[in-house]
Amino acid sequence: MDGFSTAWNILTTTPAVFAAIGGVAWGIIGGALPGISPSIALALLLPFTYGMDPITAIVLLGATYVGAEYGGSIPAILINTPGTNAAAATVVDGYYMHREGRGGEALGISLQSGVVGGMIGLIFLIAFTEPLSRVALSFNFPAYFALGILGLSVIVSLSNGSLVKGLMAATFGLMIATIGTDPLSGVSRFTFGEAELLTGIEYVIVMVGVFAMSELMMTANTPDWGKTDQTQTRIKLPTFRKWRKLWRAQGIGSGVGIFEGVMPGAGGSIAAFMSYNEAKRWSSEPEKFGKGSEEGIAAPEAANNAVACTALVPVLSFGIPGSNSAAILMGGMLIHGLQPGPMLFQKEPEFVYGLFGGLAVANISQLFLGILMMTPALWLVNRPKPFLMAAIFGLVFSGIYSIHNSTYDLYLVLLFGLMGYLMRVFAFPFLPLVLGLVLGYLVEANYRRSLELTSGDHRIFWETPIALGLLITAALFVTGSALRDILAARKAAKRVAEGPAPE
């Protein structure tokens, strides 16, 4: 009850309510634009949160994440192009329904299922985050170091099947985290005489560079996306009778989304496709899947919206993000002086309960904003892409420059944009890089503090039971991933040696 009172007090005395509504509106527009994923929508917004108080800023970012998951389904249903990766599963039946003249129904099912999944995910977030954080309170320096290594290993092992590239990206993120003044000794490291680098490189510059700038570079030469008829599509929310028909698919999607959200590296895309398959398996009409099934829209949309809430469970409990968007949210917390993890509930309870309240407002307001934002979102999707890309480019530069009024930051964001572009070209994953950056301090500081306690004796890491268990788990993740890659390479080599199958 204290938590509810705290959340209510914050929502009624701060701009957090307006931040939640504004974040959902921006998220719907960002998600509806193909190429602007939830993580990019968050990264674009991040520089503009500097002048806000922490609760308002993080509620704004969290609400953007919520809105973007629904926004991605708009082009998926209307122009057969998912606005986000997580909306790819919605294309199958959503676009089929639109071709049958039922696009409004498909959009209504997507919107309502997203609200249901988001609210169920939020209830799970509120119920389980604090108990998990109490478990994490028993951690000491070696355990925190091992926890950081485990977070890196899980993400690296799930890096699109390429362990080596994931390890390289994580290592590079850790290297970026060491730039600046040593947090323990005060010695300057890797600054090359540049005074601007003494305080290190801001998370926001790296994130905006690798996510947003690299996307602009990648889309510069790609063809324009398709057009849709803006005047004939109106959202039609499901009736209560139809909702009763969809509850099982929404329940399956929400359950899968909760599970995938708390699993680092899984994300909304995997949750959407898993829930689609499970909904088909348990449906009384599986033959309709792929041919305009309403359950085929309800399940993935409930799943990816549930993920948007439950992805915050590992962030708030252990300080480890499980997805690109959660990593940017965590970066936003660090920028505002908040240290995600078990002590957050002890030191900043107002922030945590304010965030919960803001997410509740975001999920509820999504039902109304989803209808109101439909027309402007479709108008934007139909603008010539060069104009949109130029506007986003201006948004990036103005946001980055406004942080310190420094042109040096603009050069840095271009540099990291180029790095992100090369990572996309050579298929390097972003998440290990971002995790290496945001977990770098956790890993380094707790490693060195542990050794200071024992005068350099590394046995402290296997004489601490929690640390030993976490390190063994991390080793199993990496070893299992390496074996998986080796087996996949052998299978591919065997197929090449056997040649094409006879017709």
Q: DSSP string covering 263-280, please? A: STTTHHHHHHHHHHHHHH
- Residues 306-312 have a mean pLDDT of 86
* pLDDT of the residue at 158: 61
> Within a domain: residue 486?
yes
> Within a domain: residue 198?
yes
Among 85-89, 205-209, 275-279, 358-362, the minimum mean pLDDT is found in 85-89
* pLDDT of the residue at 225: 57
Q: What is the DSSP string of 82-146?
A: -SSGGGHHHHHHHHHHHHTT-HHHHHHHHHHHHHHHHHHHHHHHHHHHHHHHHHHTT--HHHHHH
pLDDT per residue over 417-426, tens digit each? 999 999 988 8
Query: Dihedral, CA atoms, 47, 50, 56, 57, nearest 10 degrees?
Result: 40
Mean pLDDT of all residues in the chain? Answer: 82
Question: In what helix (H) or strand (E) does residue 181 lie, and over which residues does it extend?
Answer: strand 180-181
Q: Does position 340 have pLDDT exceeding 90, yes or no?
A: no
What is the rounded distance in angstroms from the CA atom of residue 128 to the CA atom of residue 355?
A: 15
* pLDDT of the residue at 119: 92
Q: CB neighbours (10 Å) of residue 500? A: 7
> Within a domain: residue 501?
no
> Within a domain: residue 503?
no
Q: Does position 494 have pLDDT exceeding 70, yes or no?
A: yes
378/142: higher pLDDT: 142
Q: Does position 503 have pLDDT exceeding 50, yes or no?
A: no
* pLDDT of the residue at 120: 92
> Within a domain: residue 35?
yes
* pLDDT of the residue at 156: 67
> Within a domain: residue 308?
yes
**C-alpha separations of 12 from 221, 315, 368, 488 in Å:** 47, 26, 20, 55
What is the rounded distance in angstroms from the CA atom of residue 130 to the CA atom of residue 462?
A: 28
Q: Using a pLDDT cut of 90, give the percent of the chain over it.
A: 9
- Angle at Cα 440 formed by Cα 434 and Cα 443, nearest 5°? 135
88/191: higher pLDDT: 191
pLDDT per residue over 120-131, tens digit each? 999 998 888 878
86/141: higher pLDDT: 141
Classify burial at 186, counting beta carbons within 10 Å of its beta carbon; exposed 0-12, middle 13-18, buried 19 or more: exposed
* pLDDT of the residue at 302: 92
124/481: higher pLDDT: 124
The total number of structural domains that make up the chain: 1
Strand-pair partners of 180: 189
Q: Does position 303 have pLDDT exceeding 80, yes or no?
A: yes
Query: Would you give the DSSP letter of residue 53?
Result: -
> Within a domain: residue 499?
no
CB 58 within 8 A of CB 65: no
180/498: higher pLDDT: 180
What is the rounded distance in angstroms from the CA atom of residue 328 to the CA atom of residue 62?
A: 10
Residue 264 zone, left/alpha/beta (φ > 0; ψ -120 to 50; rest) = beta
* pLDDT of the residue at 48: 84
Q: Does position 194 have pLDDT exceeding 60, yes or no?
A: yes
Q: Does position 76 have pLDDT exceeding 70, yes or no?
A: yes
pLDDT per residue over 347-384, tens digit each? 888 888 889 999 999 999 988 888 888 777 777 777 77
CB 377 within 8 A of CB 388: no
Q: CB neighbours (10 Å) of residue 465? A: 10
* Tokens 């060491």 found at: 178
What is the rounded distance in angstroms from the CA atom of residue 437 to the CA atom of residue 434?
A: 5
> Within a domain: residue 70?
yes
- Residues 226-245 have a mean pLDDT of 71
Residue 381 zone, left/alpha/beta (φ > 0; ψ -120 to 50; rest) = alpha
Query: Dihedral, CA atoms, 281, 285, 286, 288, nearest 10 degrees?
Result: -150
Q: Does position 481 have pLDDT exceeding 50, yes or no?
A: yes
> Which of the given ranges, 254-263, 339-348, 406-415, has the highest pLDDT on average?
406-415
* pLDDT of the residue at 232: 59
**C-alpha separations of 312 from 19, 258, 333, 357, 361 in Å:** 18, 11, 12, 14, 16
pLDDT per residue over 104-114, tens digit each? 888 889 999 99
Q: Which domain holds residue 343?
A: 1-493
* pLDDT of the residue at 183: 73
What is the rounded distance in angstroms from the CA atom of residue 451 to the CA atom of residue 472?
A: 19
> Does the pTM exceed 0.95?
no
* pLDDT of the residue at 361: 92
Classify burial at 468, counting beta carbons within 10 Å of its beta carbon; exposed 0-12, middle 13-18, buried 19 or more: middle
